[in-house]
Structure 1
Amino acid sequence: MNVFLWVVQAVLAAVFLLAGAMHATQPKEKLRPMAPWVEDFTLTRIRLIGGVELLGAVGLILPAVTGIASILTPLAATGLAVTMLGAVATHARRKEPAAIVVNVVLLAPAAVIAWARFGPYAF
């Protein structure tokens, strides 16, 4: 199970690293075609969301790899799950069901990692 969790953590970290880098660095006009939700947020909030995604991605891997404060890994997973709940709410309000599916697909492994790393498969 530990190997499975590591694989899920690595894949989830890669996804959030890419999304976070995009949200944290790209101008709003460039994000708009692929992420229409940016219309509802200021550039500062979009950057903040990108920063949260980047921190979550790093938090899934780095604390456990270094052995320093490995409690940060399940906390990062929990934070990403909460972020995805916010994304679901945003896309539900905007009536974007396809985006909700993507958010739920990202929410599920984040929740599994949080549950497993807080509980039976902690470091």
Structure 2
Amino acid sequence: MNVVLWIIAALLALAFLAAGAMKLAQPKEKLAAAGMAWTDDFSAGAVKGIGALEALAALGLILPAVTGIAPVLTPLAATGLVLVMAGAAVVHARRKEFPMIAANVVLLILAAVVAWGRFGPYAF
């Protein structure tokens, strides 16, 4: 199970690092034109903040566990991603973007599995 948790954490880290970096590097208008219409509901600063949270959580999933420095940050980062995805699902539901909710739920479940495993029976 430890290997499975590492694989899930690595996949989540890649996905959220890419998503966060994209939100940090591109202006809000370009993100909206690229299919992220939800950005119209938020300020540019809020979109950058979400991107920063995603990128930091991605680093938090891997670096503490690899370095052995404060490994409790790994399940905390996963818990943070659960909250981010819950918020994303609410935003998409309000906008009636139901296909996007499925992706949010999958990522939420994967992050919850990592949080459960690293807080519980497979802690470092």
What is the TM-score normalised by the length of structure 2? 0.98
Task: Provide the C-alpha distance between the structure 1 equivalents of 2:111 and 2:57, rounded to a whole number of angstroms.
Answer: 10
Aligned residues: 123
1:110 aligns with 2:114: no
- The one-letter amino acid of 1:91's match is H
- The one-letter amino acid of 1:106's match is L
Following superposition, the deviation at residue 105 of structure 1 comes to 1.1
The equivalent residue for 1:95 is 96
Task: Provide the C-alpha distance between the structure 2 equivalents of 1:61 and 1:116, rounded to a whole number of angstroms.
Answer: 14
Following superposition, the deviation at residue 61 of structure 1 comes to 0.1
Following superposition, the deviation at residue 24 of structure 1 comes to 1.2
The equivalent residue for 1:10 is 10
Structure 1's consecutive aligned runs of 4 or more residues displaced over 3 angstroms after TM superposition are none
Helix, strand or coil: the match of 2:70?
coil
What is the TM-score normalised by the length of structure 1? 0.98
Helix, strand or coil: the match of 1:70?
coil
Gaps of 5+ in 2: none
The 5 A counterparts of 1:1-123 are: 1-33=1-33, 34-123=35-124
Gaps of 5+ in 1: none
- For 1:3-44, what per-residue CA distance to the aligned partner results, in whole angstroms no more than 9, with x for missing partners? 111010000000000000011110111100321100000000
Task: Provide the C-alpha distance between the structure 2 equivalents of 1:28 and 1:52, rounded to a whole number of angstroms.
Answer: 16
